[in-house]
Amino acid sequence: MNFFGIRAIYNFEMARMRRTLMQSVASPVISTSLYFVVFGSAIGSRMGAIDNISYGAYIIPGLVMLSLLMQSISNASFGIYMPKFSGTIYEVLSAPVSYVEVVLGYVGAAATKSVILGLIILATAKLFVDYSVLHPFWMFFFLVVTSITFSLFGFIIGIWADGFEKLQIIPMMIVTPLVFLGGTFYSIDMLPEIWQTISLFNPVVYLISGFRWAFYGVSDIHVGISAGMILLFLTACMATIWWIFKTGYRLRS
Amino acid sequence: MQPDISVKHLNKVYADGFQALKDINLDITPGEIFALLGPNGAGKTTLISIICGIVNLSSGEVKAAGHDIVRDYRKARESIGLVPQELNTDSFETVWDAVSFSRGLFGKAPKPSHIKKVLKDLSLWDKRDNRIMSLSGGMKRRVMIAKALSHEPRILFLDEPTAGVDVELRRDMWEMVRHLREDGVTIILTTHYIEEAEEMADRIGVIRQGEIILVEDKDRLMSKLGKKELRLQLHSPLEKVPGELVLEPIELSDDGYELIYTFDSQQEQAGVARLLRTLGDIGIDYRDLKTRESSLEEIFVGLVHE
């Protein structure tokens, strides 16, 4: 195992975060805080509770998940895309590092950033909304596993993308709508039956439901199914990355 | 002696069907400077990229430092440093961080004393805290070399190392390459500057349309394929080449004052003596004579256009 290689990539990526604190941390924290202010404090105080949870507190897990997904994808996709774009990828490809080590470096750093960001957002939410965490272990489990999984997904996007536009397409056109329609602002029990059924095809529903259960002990879907779904997606991402490195797809001609 | 680089029956066919390399066989011995010459698109960079692990081979076998580049890629790559043709550098990193990153990536523990030595050798020490984006093109090229040397490789690939750099920097690099060779590093360089190969290389390989058409010791190549030219400046102009000399490879200058005799270096003795004797016999006087040896560039051009 090339530990120095993993550490070099990891530290390089973390240094990028430190250089771009405004973009990496401040920007997502501020934009998520705006949701807390508007939907939590302002509008939330005039809305009824859902499952006996105040509306402001109810939306926190979904909003944290929104940031987590977006930042995990963004961090990891940008991390691997930039060396491809600038040409410095030659160094990684010619180094004595296995694909597992490359992924550990890039995805490990992206997931670390996302977890840090998620914790900062949770701390910031306390300033605006009162909430509690009923199952801290499971909260942390969903936070970490979701960060890793979507960082892997972002890594795949970064390898697939051959332009900056493609880096943005999936997060903006697919992930954001899935999060908004995945129960961030409502319980899917509130939807007509047909839309409840359709919602079950949205993978983000499972993430938000499981994450919310960790906070308040209530969920739209059994937490075991939520955990199983995220682990299934994690496995799918790992299999895709294995295939990418085996074939050299968009990396080695 | 086991070669540092061993290439056997190497073929590369890209996905679009283009065959970039055709049955390449090449051994490079430890400690030598090997220059790979060839026109654009001949396959030089593809060959280097395969050996370094950037491009997959289609068939054949390649070993670096005795290790198969596919089965034992870690050991093979640990021994290789690569300076690519393009100036691909991270813009926002400092010189020190970028070079240290490369060392770590190649599996070596941090060794500030070595990084310091490399930066000093390449006149980069004063720039160590500068961001790479603030450096000139020549300095960036030095950073690329420093990165390639950061993990103390025993084999160094220089792909067009002096493309676009000024004369002073080019001389510095030549000097550095010589020092590296003295330290036992095997160097493989591709270049368009024939004088670079002529100046530094021990052996020359010529690649054309994906095939190695020649590998030869530089001095032997120069003597074997080099042409010499003898120019005789005449006292009186001639209207045409005398009949006694028409079978010789000889030309008359436009003004008729110069006879130009071209000969292979290996035929030097017999040909020139015969020519001078014949001139004496037919009464043609000359006031001066000059010889000129063809450069490696002329040999190269001759080879790739055969």
Count CB neighbours of B305 within 10 A. 8
B68 Cβ under 8 Å from any chain A Cβ:
no
Phi, psi dihedrals of residue A244, rounded to the nearest 5°? -60, -45
**For residues B248-260, average pLDDT:** 86
Least confident of A42-51, A74-83, B94-103, B254-263: A42-51
- Intervals of chain A under pLDDT 50: none
Res A203: pLDDT: 87
Q: How confident is the model at residue B262 (pLDDT cuts 50, 70, 90)?
A: confident
Tokens coding A177: 């709508």
SS3 content of chain B, % helix, strand, coil (to 5): 40, 30, 35
Integer CA distances (angstroms), A16 to A82, A105, A171, A184, B177, in order = 11, 13, 21, 30, 34
**Structure-derived torsion over alpha carbons of residues A149, A151, A157, A158, reported in degrees to the nearest 10:** -150
Of A12, A90, A252, the CB nearest to B88: A90
Please say whether the beta carbons of A250 and A160 come within 8 A.
Answer: yes
- The angle subtended at Cα A115 by Cα A112 and Cα A120, nearest 5°, is 125
Helix (H) or strand (E) holding B204: strand B203-208
Residues A154 and A51: their CA atoms lie apart, in Å, by: 34
CB pairs under 8 A between A and B: 82
The answer to whether residue A252 is domain-embedded is no
Tokens coding B260: 């130009």
Chain B interface, mutation test: which of A84, A94, A247, A252, most B Cβ atoms within 10 Å? A94
Q: Does B67 have pLDDT greater than 90? A: yes
Q: Does B124 have pLDDT greater than 80? A: yes
Does the beta-carbon distance from A97 to B107 stay under 8 Å?
yes
Q: Give the bridge partners for B67, in sequence order.
A: B64
Environment class of residue B133 by beta-carbon count within 10 Å: exposed (0-12), middle (13-18) or buried (19+)? Answer: exposed
Q: How confident is the model at residue B60 (pLDDT cuts 50, 70, 90)?
A: very high
Q: How confident is the model at residue B293 (pLDDT cuts 50, 70, 90)?
A: confident
Res A41: pLDDT: 75
Q: Is the dihedral of CA B27, B81, A159, B210 positive or negative?
A: negative
Mean pLDDT of chain B: 87
Q: Residues 133-162, chain B: which have Cβ within 8 Å of A?
A: 147
Of A4, A93, A253, the CB nearest to B104: A4
Domain residue limits at A33: 3-247
Residues B177 and B202: their CA atoms lie apart, in Å, by: 12
Greatest Cα pair distance in chain B: 78
Quote the minimal CA–CA distance from B75 to chain A in Å.
7
Chain-centre distance of CA B220, in angstroms?
Answer: 15
Of B54, B74, B90, the CB nearest to A96: B74
The answer to whether residue A253 is domain-embedded is no
Q: How confident is the model at residue B304 (pLDDT cuts 50, 70, 90)?
A: low
Please say whether the beta carbons of A239 and A245 come within 8 A.
Answer: no
Q: Does B268 have pLDDT greater than 60? A: no
Residues B119 and B105: their CA atoms lie apart, in Å, by: 18
Integer CA distances (angstroms), A127 to A47, A121, A134, B287, in order = 19, 10, 19, 101
Tokens coding A201: 């095809």
Res B90: pLDDT: 83
In the numeric block, the tokens 């004797």 are attached to B277
Long-range Cβ contacts of B25-28 (<8 Å, 24+ apart): B25/B212, B26/B205, B26/B212, B26/B215, B27/B3, B28/B3, B28/B4, B28/B186, B28/B188, B28/B203
Q: How confident is the model at residue B267 (pLDDT cuts 50, 70, 90)?
A: low
Chain A interface, mutation test: which of B12, B105, B159, most A Cβ atoms within 10 Å? B105
Tokens coding B69: 């580049």
**Rg over CA atoms, chain A:** 19
- The one-letter amino acid code at A7 reads R
Residues in A closer than 8 angstroms to B18, CB to CB, are none
Q: Which of A98-112, B152-166, B174-188 has the highest mean pLDDT?
A: A98-112
Please say whether the beta carbons of A154 and A77 come within 8 A.
Answer: yes
Helix (H) or strand (E) holding A5: helix A3-19
Does the beta-carbon distance from A87 to B84 stay under 8 Å?
yes
Quote the minimal CA–CA distance from A94 to chain B in Å.
5
Q: How confident is the model at residue B167 (pLDDT cuts 50, 70, 90)?
A: confident
Residues B72 and B237: their CA atoms lie apart, in Å, by: 70
Phi, psi dihedrals of residue B193, rounded to the nearest 5°? -85, 105
**For residues B208-237, average pLDDT:** 84
Q: How confident is the model at residue B186 (pLDDT cuts 50, 70, 90)?
A: very high
Which residues are within 8 A (CB) of A165 and not within 5 positions of it... i.e. 6 or more apart? none
Instruction: Please state the domain count of chain A.
Output: 1
Q: Does B193 have pLDDT greater than 90? A: no
Residues in B closer than 8 angstroms to A98, CB to CB, are 74
* Domains in chain B with CATH codes: 5-222 (3.40.50.300), 227-304 (3.30.70)
Pairing verdict, β B203-208 and B211-217? antiparallel
Of B52, B89, B108, the CB nearest to A88: B89
Res B284: pLDDT: 87
Pairing verdict, β B203-208 and B186-190? unpaired
pTM of the model: 0.83
Residues B264 and B107: their CA atoms lie apart, in Å, by: 52
